[in-house]
Amino acid sequence: MCQAEAGSQASWSAAHTPASEKMCSFMPRFSIHIETRYEDNAGTTENCVNLKPEELQQREVDFLDIAYDELPAKHYKESEDLTKFKSKKTDRGPLEKDWKDSSSPLMCSYKVVKVKFEVFGLQTRVESFTHKSVRDILLLGHRQAFAWIDEWIGLTMDDIREYEESAFEATNKKVLQSE
């Protein structure tokens, strides 16, 4: 993991298309680039992030099922098991096997994850491990977003900004204490 002074992150967002790039200065040949696009469908858009034809030929599509894909055991919490969870505020859940076809409203988070590790002999192994780790993080995060719906549904933009600011301050405090 990059320490605060050793890593850099660039993030930007424009019209439902946030992107992030993470790099560690002590490993200049390693980077992760994630581009995201949100659409109101069940993952049916073929090329919603506008990949070039040569990128389309190389891509691997991996559909994450937030309810039924297996999480690493260390991340499993029964309260976040979407096959058991039911929202008190929205009455959504638990998610059945066919939830992608039978649920409404529905939103898909399309992600393009590009990993580069340009070190001979380790490139394939490190890139594969990183893709698997990013997949686990995305699965957990999207599962939690659904399971925590009663905490965020109905928040205003001002509420969200206030929450982000307090989270930012708490994170900085923890990082500074650990140094």
**How many other C-beta atoms can be found within 10 angstroms of the C-beta atom of residue 1?**
5
Mapped onto helix, strand or coil, the DSSP state of residue 126 is helix
**Domain coordinates of the chain in residue numbers?**
7-147
Whether residue 18 is preceded by a cis peptide bond, meaning omega within 30 degrees of 0, is no
pLDDT per residue as tens digits for the range 26-62? 677 898 989 999 999 999 999 999 999 999 999 999 9
Q: E strands within the chain?
A: 7-12, 19-24, 27-39, 108-117
Query: Is-above-0.85 flag for pTM?
Result: no
Does the structure show a pLDDT above 50 at 8?
Answer: no
* pLDDT for 80: 97
The fourth-level CATH superfamily of domain 7-147 is START domain (3.30.530.20)
| Count of helices and strands (H, E) across the chain | 5, 4
pLDDT per residue as tens digits for the range 121-179? 999 999 999 999 999 999 999 999 999 999 999 999 999 999 999 999 999 888 888 76
